[in-house]
Chain A
Amino acid sequence: MRRARRVAERQRPLWMLAPGGVLLVLVVGVPLAVAGQISLLDLDQYTFRQWLDAPFVGLDNYVEAVRDSSLPHAIWVSTAYAVIVTLVTLPVGVAAALAAHDRFTGRGLVRSVLLVPYVLPAFVVGTVWRVILQPDGVADAAVGRAGLDAGLWLNGPRSFWALVIVQAWTAWPLLYLLTLAGLQTVDPEVHEAAAIDGAGWWVKLRRLIFPYLRGPVALGLVITFLHSVNNFTLPYVLFGVPSPRDVEVLPVLTYVESFQNFRFGLSAAMAVFSLGVVAVPLLGYLRAVRLT
């Protein structure tokens, strides 16, 4: 048996994957290698012109990023908010999918409307929410009407929750979409069999439907987390630069180091750290779905 498989493996024309492989190396490998190299250089506005001759500083950029920059704080903020967003969007997305799954009049319209937050460009979402969350804006008026203290949403401690709310608002339709796709794969005969056996809705949901959803929902959670961690546009448009301390997220910090402070080396080191942050859940997911 084992030997047979080896023979089969030997006969695979792997060279036919070469075009894809070359493309991957060019599009992913080379930029990654360059970023890695830049992170070891003291590259800034003074050395930028002859960047290959910028002084080699070894791991100094990494040390500086950890010791003398806001990087640890930014990693904490980014991870915390991404985890919260992921947890918030899960029940909302699944509930919306279950609601839009059954046939009813106007289902197509409802399904399309639910996707609106997801298809709007982040720039538009950020701008609209910025207006809503302004001091004296719509949000404050609503909070004031409820008898609560209207405060700052775009700076200070509440800004973190503003970011969570807005990101969750844009992110949940992805989970809804993937869950809906998962629901479509449930065999109708399974429903019939359950109905004959007299299973209640909760048992049906837990024993029949959820097992079908495990894959798509896991993928949805990973993508939502990665999107949130990597989202630059939304925090940038909502809060501007310099960021309030409570919403100083990784992508904005990296951007500022590169494009406002011109510390390209330091910024590349930070980008390598971000890569580590996103690699953890990704590897977890790949192991879970056994694609490794």
Chain B
Amino acid sequence: MKAIRGAIALLLGSALLTACGSDGGGGTDGAGKTLDVLIGANTIYPEQQREWFDEVSATFKAQTGATVRFETFATPNDELTRIQTSVLSGQGPDVYALGTTFTPTAYATKAFVELSAEDWGKLGGRDKFLPSTLGISGPDEQHEVGVPFTSRPFVMAYNKDLLAKAGFDKPADSWDGLRDQARKLTSAGVYGLAVAYADSFDPWKFIWAMSLQAGNPLVDGGKARLDDPTTAAAYRTYLGWVATDKVVDPAAVGWKNAQAIAAFGAGKAAFLPMVSATSKVTLDKSAVAGRYGYAIMPTIPPGATALPAGGSGAASILSGDNLVVASYSKDKDLALAFVKMLTDVEAQRSYYKTFGELPTNAALAAELQADPALAAMVESSSKAVGTPFTGAWSQIQLALVNVVVQSVPALSSGTVDSAKLDALIKQAQSTAQGALDKAK
């Protein structure tokens, strides 16, 4: 048996060998060494990304003498496959840029370096970062793998003309207030809200935010709390926009995020909640260019006029990218030096100027706060809260979205069917609890 297993492991290992290797040794004198870095392909600015790679490589070479070799992944699935391959074979990129919500799963694999106090020192200290951005680096301060690299907080775009015409000077700060504004703004082919009900990710972010604002973080220790009334209220609010309030285009039950952005860009919706700064590229080329603004999303939960006791005024999930160092890397110090360089003011500024993604570096964030165009983004970034740090989160996320997917067919009837919704939530709760029970 052992021999067979050994043979299989050997076969698999040899099949999975990714051509790459870092030479042994330590210290940040990297002369003659190569550091492999895996980062998401930027589909909006592919040219600029290539230039940025070259610029970073040149700077790092000047600093340490080491060469940086960038590889990109196209989709989250692609990223996952790369990580699985590397983790299995014990070799691959030294440094990865991971999405924040994926960090707990990456942590669960134990394939990434847990940062000691000394390591943080090598990165320039924890104080270098915006405190909120450290919220999803690990389960607690002693066990962190992720170094905050970029921040992509979620905000809400609003159509200034439509709001002015209806006599609103700014978007409401509560979900109920936003719904009332949306009702007034819905008329003649224009809807109050543009919401992507068929997106694979958007729906859970709404449910999570509304639940958390009402004091329910969805995961409490090892317990799932999707069966809490606050979560049902969040679903009823979110589904009610299209079913009972009629403030969303009925076709939105088939929309992905890009279609919601397009509808807002065509001037067919007053509010576009749950978008990041990357929407700016599209909107600045659209019919509403120059006539829209960004604001933080409501932070007061449905059914309330003020933040309840125990509620958290989360404006967004903690969103963006973390850098992690692979534990199989033979050049840990060199990798840390590279991560330090990317999170220092200079590199962060260049990254922000090139891609429009907000910095995680506290000094630079403070500098940008003065720019009125960015005020909402920076505010949202500082009010962002990390999703529960558990390896089970990806399953919980899917269970949350599943409730919305299975509810959609009944929405056209003009009601949110309570019995059906409760049954779906119950199922999601048991899925979430099952995933948490398996978490180690």
Question: A and B from one assembly?
Answer: yes
- Residues of A bordering B, CB below 8 Å: 26, 30, 33-34, 37, 44-46, 48-49, 51-52, 134-137, 151-152, 154-157, 240-245, 256, 259-262
Mark out the residues of chain B between 402 and 425 whose CB falls within 8 Å of any chain A CB in the assembled complex. Answer: 402, 405-406, 408-409, 412
Q: Which B250-282 residues have a C-beta within 8 angstroms of A? A: 250-254, 256
Tally B residues with Cβ within 8 Å of A. 39
Residues of B within 8 A of A46 (CB): 108-109, 391, 438-440
| Residue of chain A at shortest CB distance from B402 | A242
Complex contact A37–B8 (CB within 8 A): yes
Q: In the complex, are the beta carbons of A157 and B409 less than 8 A apart?
A: yes
**Which of B88, B401, B438 is A48 in contact with, Cβ under 8 Å?**
B88
**Residue of A with least CB distance to B11:** A30
Structural contact, A135 and B409, CB atoms closer than 8 A: no
Most chain A beta-carbon neighbours within 10 Å: one of B111, B256, B395: B395
In the bound complex, residues from chain A placing their C-beta under 8 Å from that of B200 are 240-242
> Which secondary structure dominates chain B's binding surface?
helix
Mark each residue of chain B from 175 to 193: 1 if its CB lies under 8 Å from any CB of chain A, else 0: 0000000000000000000
Are A155 and B11 interface neighbours, CB within 8 A?
Answer: no
The 0/1 profile, CB within 8 Å of A marked 1, for residues 73-97 of chain B is 0000100110010011000000000
Residues of A within 8 A of B77 (CB): 259
* Cβ–Cβ contact B406 & A245, under 8 A: yes
The complex places the Cα of A154 from the Cα of B405 at a distance, in Å, of: 10
Per-residue contact bits, chain B 359-394, to A (CB 8 Å; 1 contact, 0 not) = 000000000000000000000000000000001001
A26 to B15, CA, bound (A): 11
B435 (CB) vs chain A CBs: closest residue = A261
Chain B residue contacts of A152, Cβ below 8 A: 253-254, 408-409, 412
Which chain B residues numbered 9 to 61 have a C-beta less than 8 Å away from chain A? 9, 11-12
CA distance A261 to B392 in the complex (A): 8
Q: How far is the CB of A153 from chain B (nearest CB, A)?
A: 8
For the complex, give the distance between the alpha carbons of A273 and B312 in Å.
46
B63 interfacial contact with A, CB 8 Å: no
In the bound complex, how far is the Cα of B11 from the Cα of A34, in angstroms? 10
A-B contact pairs, 11 of them (CB 8 A): A34-B12, A45-B108, A46-B108, A46-B440, A48-B109, A52-B8, A155-B254, A242-B200, A242-B401, A244-B408, A261-B435
Top 5 nearest A-B pairs (CB, nearest first) are: A156-B409, A135-B251, A136-B251, A242-B402, A46-B440
Q: How far is the CA of A34 from the CA of B439 in the complex (A)?
A: 25
A26 vs B111: C-alpha distance when bound (angstroms): 29
Q: What residue in chain B is nearest A37 (Cβ atoms)?
A: B8
Contacts A52-B5, A240-B200 given: A45-B406 contact, CB under 8 Å?
no
Give me 8 other A-B pairs in contact (C-beta within 8 A), A48-B87, A135-B252 excluded. Answer: A37-B8, A45-B391, A49-B88, A52-B8, A154-B254, A155-B405, A156-B408, A259-B80
